[in-house]
Amino acid sequence: MRRIALLSASLAAIAFAMPAMPNEDVLRQSAKPEQLVLQTGDYANQRFTRLDQINRDNVKNLKVAWTFSTGVLRGHEGAPLVIGDIMYVHTPFPNIVYALDLNEDGKILWKYEPKQDPSVIPVMCCDTVYRGLAYADGTLYHHQADTTLVALDAKTGKVKWSVVNGDPKKGETNTATVLPVKDKIIVGISGAEFGVRGHVTAYDAKTGKRLWRAYSTGPDSEILFDPEKTMSLGKPVGKDSSLRTWNGDQWTIGGGTTWGWFSYDSETNLVYYGTGNPSTWNPVQRAGPDGKPIDQKWTMAIIARDADTGMARWAYQMTPFDEWDYDGVNEMILADINVGGKPRKVLVHFDRNGLAYTLDRVTGELLVADKYDPKVNWTSGVVMDRNSPQYGRPQVVPQFSTFQTGQDKNTKGICPAALGTKDQQPAAFSPRTNLFYVPTNHVCMDYEPFRVSYTAGQPYVGATLSMFPTPDSHGGMGNFIAWDAATGKIVWSKPEKFSVWSGALATAGGVVFYGTLEGYLKAVDEKDGTELFKFKTPSGIIGNVMTYSHKGKQYVAVLSGVGGWAGIGLAAGLTNPTEGLGAVGGYAGLRDYTALGGTLTVFALP
């Protein structure tokens, strides 16, 4: 009995010491560079491929191999998946899924077309986009606009199970992909512009049963924060870390939605993601009882949660008391790099607020925080002195504070605009160069808050915006940059006429791909950004470039179909400059370069 007890204790100790097992099928399938099973490429969100048949010497010879029309004319975000001989293509609302036979240049094997109430369309803030499917264990996971999470048999397209994650009548919708982790599917929610209270939820991958839900705002028991064990910048967050930073019960309609990307580290068993803006956009209405700014946690934050329980390990708020709609939902890229001469396990995040952050992903320690567009002016920078009570906080420039300027007053020349120096369009990391390749917006705004009342299912914005290209610059609205996350420096920058709204792809062939709002697929040299190839697709590209290999041949594919926030004027037929939360006027010139579409274009070498 003593031996058994000792053996049991030893096994328990070993199990505790071993890294948590992620979804084994996802690891197996994503290890094959010829495939793409997650929108993020891998759990680390690096968007790097080991395929190198297409390289910097021959990429100029790329030709169109075949195309496929999706039949939908709205913004096409995300990327197709490839598993074996089948490609899976998704569309914006109504969120059709196609299974295409790669042996016959995209012959349709099956089609899934959900029946959704079109009343969901008006409560989708910034176009009816969808960032795509995820695959694990023979199943496609599909999170529809109406928040129905569906598990589809990858071979037949038949529904295995479905569950409803939110209520569109309250403004809850979905635009994001999901992440299969272990036996769970991790999903978020959209709708902060309708006063939705953000949350992240884990469902059982086999049955759809809800396992845990963690809100962004509210009491500790609902945000799943431990006052003593959940850390922020090296200190416990303390009791009621969220509640004490809200005025009254505003947290119940407080925003902090989770419509961005998720990443996962099996060594720590942590899921990483960002939360969005507080509601309303009018900061005057969100002031504390003394009329002063109040942090409104945990909106605008990076949160690391245990995948099994949902409990938060650490959190860091990037933009306390947001005054500009700088949602913090952009991707968290996990990498191992040297910072300050020491090897670190880092998380790198390019925030809407124009600051790029490098944090220790195990502890949440802030290592680097710098502007990745020099024209960012709302802040003078983040306090990095650990002994300062302001440590980790951005210092607001009073001239560009929409709160200090006041309600019904127009604050002019704020950089970046609300859509940020980068929105959800994901960056890529190359272990060849240790650089991050970042699609960016180069846009500023005027911002006028006004009082707004909350009604469930109705817009709860409270601000009028105008957007325009950054003054005293190259005249364009975008840059594609290479970033050194260890030093917080731009290595090279390539100007673009419009915002770069597509996701980047780094390759072992030394080439980095991205798309432009006019519709160009471009390939540049990883070392200096020299343009090596470009091709005009049928519509503006807001999709993410992907690559795969079939029968020994490498292909590059991208969805084109202009839309998203930047292209909402074209996508929804809007013409008033202040519509689309200010984007219609800012991107009015885009209609001279592209039109609506919905096309998959696949490239290969001759």
CA 21 to chain centre: 24
* pTM for the full predicted model: 0.95
Banded pLDDT at 304 (limits 50, 70, 90) = very high
Q: What is the pLDDT of residues 522-574, one digit of tens each?
A: 999 999 999 999 999 999 999 999 999 999 999 999 999 999 999 999 999 99
Main-chain phi, psi angles of 167, to 5 degrees: -130, 105
User: What would the mean pLDDT of 134-140 be, rounded to a whole number?
Assistant: 97
Specify the pLDDT at position 475. 85
Q: What is the pLDDT of residues 383-404, one digit of tens each?
A: 999 999 999 999 999 999 999 9
Question: 504, 512 in Cβ contact below 8 A?
Answer: yes
Specify the pLDDT at position 23. 84
Q: Is the pLDDT of residue 15 over 70?
A: no
DSSP string over 437-468? EEEEE-EEEEEEE------TTS----EEEEEE
Element housing 13 (H / E)? helix 2-17
Q: How far is CA 252 from CA 197, 244, 493, 561, in A?
A: 6, 13, 42, 36
- The DSSP output letter for 503 is B
Q: Would 30 be classed as within a structural domain?
A: no
Q: Would 147 be classed as within a structural domain?
A: yes
Measured CA to CA, the distance from residue 532 to residue 62 in angstroms comes to 10
Residue that is written with structure tokens 């917006």 in the block: 441
Q: Would 388 be classed as within a structural domain?
A: yes
Banded pLDDT at 18 (limits 50, 70, 90) = very low
Main-chain phi, psi angles of 208, to 5 degrees: 85, 5
Q: Is the pLDDT of residue 13 over 60?
A: no
Specify the pLDDT at position 407. 86
Q: What is the token pair recorded at 433?
A: 């160069």
Q: Which residues of 442-472 are buried (b: 16+ CB within 10 A; e: fewer)?
A: bbbbbbbbbebebeebebbbbbbbbbbbbee
Q: Would 340 be classed as within a structural domain?
A: yes
Q: Which residues of 211-229 are buried (b: 16+ CB within 10 A; e: fewer)?
A: bbbbbbbbebebbbbeeee
CA 535 to chain centre: 26
Q: Would 408 be classed as within a structural domain?
A: yes
Q: Is the pLDDT of residue 11 over 70?
A: no
Specify the pLDDT at position 406. 83
Mean pLDDT of the chain: 95
User: What would the mean pLDDT of 586-594 be, rounded to a whole number?
Assistant: 95
Q: Is the pLDDT of residue 507 over 60?
A: yes
What positions carry a catalytic annotation?
325
Domain that holds residue 55: 35-604
C-alpha closest to that of 43 among 181, 219, 236: 181
Q: Would 6 be classed as within a structural domain?
A: no
- Number of domain units in the chain: 1
- Dihedral sign (CA 293, 294, 300, 304): positive
Specify the pLDDT at position 343. 96
Identify the CATH number of the domain in which residue 429 sits: 2.140.10.10
Q: What is the token pair recorded at 451?
A: 């009082």
Q: What is the pLDDT of residues 29-78, one digit of tens each?
A: 999 999 999 999 999 999 999 999 999 999 999 999 999 999 999 999 99
Q: Would 226 be classed as within a structural domain?
A: yes
Element housing 584 (H / E)? helix 583-586
Specify the pLDDT at position 81. 98
Measured CA to CA, the distance from residue 541 to residue 402 in angstroms comes to 32
Specify the pLDDT at position 20. 56
Q: What is the pLDDT of residues 202-232, one digit of tens each?
A: 999 999 999 999 999 999 999 999 999 999 9
Q: Would 26 be classed as within a structural domain?
A: no
